[in-house]
A and B are shown apart, each in its own frame.
With several copies, the nearest count.
Chain A
Amino acid sequence: MPECPVCGAEPMISDDPVEGELLECEECGVELEILALDPVTLGEAPDAEEDWGE
């Protein structure tokens, strides 16, 4: 199972993953992108860290 690059968890991958598909790591909430298939490799999807107001 591929690992989340940020927290090392094993996020759930859909049955027929597609390159470029976005998914969220259930544990650390980071947005991931499927970079390649067999084997599925994951990378952090670029998203601006939104300022949460404080």
Chain B
Amino acid sequence: MIGASIAGGSGYAGGELLRLLLGHPDVEVRQITSERFAGRFAHRVHPNLRGVTRLRFCALAELSECDVLFLCLPHGESSRRIDEFRSLAGRIVDLGADFRLRDGADYERFYGRPHPRPELLESFVYGIAELNREALARADLVACAGCNATASILGLLPLYRAGVADSAVIEVKVGSSEAGNRASEGSHHPERSGAMRSYRPTGHRHAAEIRTVLGGDVHFSATAVEMVRGVLATCHVFLNRELDEKALWKIYRGAYADEPFVRIVKERSGIHRYPDPNLLAGANHCDVGFERDPLSNRVVVLSAIDNLMKGAAGQAVQALNVMHGLPESRGLEFPGLHPA
């Protein structure tokens, strides 16, 4: 059995991770920390887990040794305390942003302060299995990708790997859970309900991540819409050559036919023609679709995930499975609900 603990388990990602790990046959959940809720039952903060576990939160200081330590801490915490965490666990999976970028300068530009441990950036493997399966299999330190970056990268990867993409304009539509479970002026229900908020029209942190992986000319915007879970990335890709629909199918099938969690969704009829995050709540799928613009060299690529699953906790458990040579779908079989 893999002994796993979660540092920073009172947030939405930590709670989703707890749900998945409790249901994973090869994992035993040791501890889950929260400074605010230390001593309280986990289900007080994660009500869906009432009766599923009698675990209580403990303080970070009480963390003891385990096989895998998942970090779901506020920005800057994991890089500040990384040595302490490495002394407690042979393997670390960080769901936060500290070790996602390869270049400290990028981190400073987007997070507004210098990276405390830039020398470690290289040793963390970026947690998208579809991108880094071999490296993940040998990794001890994993940095999960941001949710918006995960959706964008999985949507665009086949075109960029095939060398047919010139530039891309990406707009992600996201839900309110992406901002976490701390209340704020903006999350006050009478103000947030029905709102359509262009909260990041430019310069989003995830843009740096996407550029690190795909390279090239990537423009990024994010809009918050009436949704709790979910990301839909609408990517306008300008091709550098003529490609018809069949050639595009070939590129996407070639990249994803054998992937357990990426489905190609592109139908000519019916009411479910393209990826829709509404169908993926709680599931680890990334649905990808595309449509060729007959009037130009543009292909619109659509990529949908649940930001708390493939965009966070699901990606972390998938990485856990790869790191331990387990079947990649183990503990991640839930297919999502319909209708939802």
Contact = CB atoms under 8 A, between A and B. Distances in A.
Asked if A and B touch directly (CB within 8 angstroms), the answer is: yes
B24 interface: no
Interface string B110-145: 000000000000000000000000000000000000
Interface in A20-46: 27-30
A49 B269 contact: yes
Contacts of B271: 52-53
A9 B246 CA distance: 9
A54 B199 contact: yes
B249 A50 contact: no
Contacts of A29: 267-270
Contacts of B179: 53-54
A52 B270 contact: yes
Contacts of B250: 8
Given A7-B246, A7-B249, A9-B249, A52 B273 contact: yes
A22 B246 CA distance: 21
Q: Interface on chain A toward B: helix, strand, loop, or mixed SS?
A: loop
Residues of A in contact with B, size category: 10 to 19
Interface in B144-174: 174
A54 B245 contact: no
A30 B273 CA distance: 11
A7 B250 CA distance: 7
B264 interface: yes
A27 B268 contact: no
A28 B268 contact: yes
A54 B264 contact: no
B324 interface: no
A54 B186 contact: yes
B185 interface: yes
A37 B264 CA distance: 30
Among A5, A28, A47, A49, residue most surrounded by chain B Cβ atoms (within 10 Å): A28
A43 to B, nearest CB: 14
Contact of B253 (A9, A50, A51, A53): A9
Given A27-B264, A29-B268, A53 B245 contact: no
B297 to A, nearest CB: 20
A53 B186 contact: yes
A28 B273 contact: no
Contacts of A18: none
B329 interface: no
B199 A52 contact: yes
Given A29-B269, A51-B184, 8 more contacts: A6-B246, A29-B267, A47-B269, A52-B184, A52-B270, A54-B176, A54-B179, A54-B222
Interface of B: 174, 176, 178-179, 182, 184-187, 197, 199-200, 222, 224, 245-246, 249-250, 253, 264, 266-271, 273
Interface of A: 5-9, 27-30, 47, 49-54
